Structure 1
Amino acid sequence: MRCEIRHTTEYHYPKPAWNSFNQVRLHPSNETRQSVRLFHLNVTPDAEITSHKDYFGAIVHHVHVHEHHRHLLIEAQAIVDTHAVTLPISTPFSELRPERGRNSEFLVPSPRVPSGRWPELFGVARPGPGDDLPEFLLELTSHLRRRFTYDPSATDVRTPLAEFAQTGHGVCQDFTHAMLGITRQLGIPARYVSGYLYSGGEMRGAEATHAWVECLIPGYGWLGYDPTNDCLALEKHIKIGHGREYSDVSPVRGTYFGGGQGTLEVAVHVYADQ
């Protein structure tokens, strides 16, 4: 499926700002399940733009606006082809044992996914060594979708996972952090994915960057699960990058001098040719 993406981030300041520096993670990844045909980053006013690959392999752009400005526009445009993938066969939990040491960074606690008895807190029964891992992960994805309510007004990027567990209302990053907490406590290496979603009107989270989980299946590799929409992350999911949690892959963040209290507007549009 060919997807065209337009992502705009606009800052408006009541007073002139200067020396604005933003770290931008909006370049989709090139991997087995998707190919990037075009990417363009447009910034107004004129900016100094450099890039590098971060620890997890994502392309990060550094946008530095030296001049005084009251309006900053960062617009990313991309064309990405997503590809069908084969799905894993039955795999028992016991096969995870040798993978844990090689993927420990996706098992340890992090600020937004701290240690805790998340399986019990979220009502998930702990599987046995002979249980099927892919089947369990699909059931977990469905369980979280049923248990929680998607509510864009309920949380923000600072909301603790424990608060989401208590209120039961949140957005895709909350669903994703919840699944990460559960899987990591069960010894399943899992990572946070940031990207885009072509919804066609039937899925939640397409109005901004979306988030889902990738779990390691021994003998297969990483497979995406979207607990917000109770589905696998396949052709309609366009990946930007992955990390331990939201902080590792936040789309745009930065600092500036002056300006006063600015306002932020974000718009994401994904079009697809199926």
Structure 2
Amino acid sequence: MRCEIRHTTTYAYPKPAWDSFNEVRLHPSREARQSVRSFHLLVDPDAEISSHRDYFGAIVHHVHVHAPHTHLTIEAQAVVDTHPVPDPAPVPFAELRAARRDHTEFLVPSPRVPGGDWPEVFGVARPAPGDDLPTFLRDLTTTLHRGLTYDGEATEVHTPLAEFARHRRGVCQDYTHAMLGIVRQLGVPARYVSGYLVSGGGMVGAAATHAWAECFLPGQGWLGFDPTNDCLAREKHVKIGHGREYGDVSPVRGTYYGGGQGKLDVAVHVYGDQ
């Protein structure tokens, strides 16, 4: 699928701000399931822009505006081709032993996905060593989708996972952190993915950046599961990058001097063409 993406972040300040510095993770990743045809980062006013790859391999742009300004617009434009993802082949849980040694960083607790009895908290039965891993993950995706309520007003970016677990209302970030907490406790390496959804088709989360989980399947690699939409991450999912949790891949974050209390506006448009 050919996907055209326009992601615009606008800051407006009541008084001039200066020395504004933003860390931008909006460049789609290049991997087997997607190809990047083009990417452009447009900034107004003029800015000093540099880039590097972070620990997890994502391209990070640094946007630095030195002069006083009362607005800042950062627009990312990309064209991405996504490719079909095959259904996973059966593999028992017992085959995860070697993967646990190789992917420890996606098993250990992190600030937003702390250790805990998350399978029991979310009412998920622990699998047996001979149970099929892909089937369990697909069933878990459905269980979370049905047991949680999507509510954009219920949580904020720093809401703890334990609080979300009590109220069961939140957004894709919360759904993904819940799935990561559950499967990591069961010994499944899993990572947080930030990306986009193609607009249309009734998918929840297409109006902003989206989040889902990637779980490691021995012999098959990483496969995406989207509990917000009860599906595998396929051609309508465009990946930006991955990390342990949201904090590793937040799209735009930064600091500035002066300006007063700034106002933030974000607009995301993703169009897909077969």
Alignment TM class, shorter chain as reference:
over 0.9
Partner Cα separation in structure 1 for residue 165 and residue 65 of structure 2? 40
Q: What residue is the counterpart of 1:10 in the other structure?
A: 10
Q: What residue is the counterpart of 1:72 in the other structure?
A: 72
Alignment gaps of 5+ in structure 1: none
Q: What residue is the counterpart of 1:243 in the other structure?
A: 243
Partner Cα separation in structure 1 for residue 63 and residue 4 of structure 2? 23
Report the AA paired with residue 195 of structure 2.
G
Counterpart of 1:98 in 2: which secondary structure?
helix
Report the AA paired with residue 84 of structure 1.
P
- Count of aligned pairs between the two proteins: 274
Q: What residue is the counterpart of 2:125 in the other structure?
A: 125
Q: What residue is the counterpart of 2:49 in the other structure?
A: 49
Q: What residue is the counterpart of 1:167 in the other structure?
A: 167
Give every structure 1 segment of 4 or more consecutive aligned residues whose post-TM-superposition deviation is greater than 6 Å: none
Aligned pairs for 1:204-223 within 5 A: 204-223=204-223
Counterpart of 2:73 in 1: which secondary structure?
strand
Q: What residue is the counterpart of 1:140 in the other structure?
A: 140
Report the AA paired with residue 255 of structure 2.
T
1:227 aligns with 2:227: yes
Q: What residue is the counterpart of 2:24 in the other structure?
A: 24
Partner Cα separation in structure 1 for residue 120 and residue 184 of structure 2? 13
Partner Cα separation in structure 1 for residue 11 and residue 204 of structure 2? 25
Partner Cα separation in structure 1 for residue 150 and residue 260 of structure 2? 33
Q: What residue is the counterpart of 1:267 in the other structure?
A: 267
Partner Cα separation in structure 1 for residue 90 and residue 190 of structure 2? 18
User: Once the two structures are superposed, what CA deviation does each residue of 1:242-263 show, in whole Å capped at 9, x if it has no partner?
Assistant: 0000000000000000000101
- The Cα of 1:88 is off from its aligned counterpart by 1.9
Partner Cα separation in structure 2 for residue 26 and residue 125 of structure 1? 37
TM-score (normalised: structure 2): 0.99
- The Cα of 1:85 is off from its aligned counterpart by 2.2
Q: 8 Å contact 2:199–2:271 — kept in the other structure?
A: no
Report the AA paired with residue 180 of structure 1.
L
User: Once the two structures are superposed, what CA deviation does each residue of 1:96-127 show, in whole Å capped at 9, x if it has no partner?
Assistant: 01110110000000000000000000000000
Partner Cα separation in structure 2 for residue 175 and residue 206 of structure 1? 15
Q: 8 Å contact 2:199–2:207 — kept in the other structure?
A: no
Partner Cα separation in structure 2 for residue 198 and residue 85 of structure 1? 16
- Shifted more, 262-271 versus 83-92: the winner is 83-92
Alignment gaps of 5+ in structure 2: none
Query: RMSD of aligned C-alpha atoms?
Result: 0.5
Q: What residue is the counterpart of 1:191 in the other structure?
A: 191
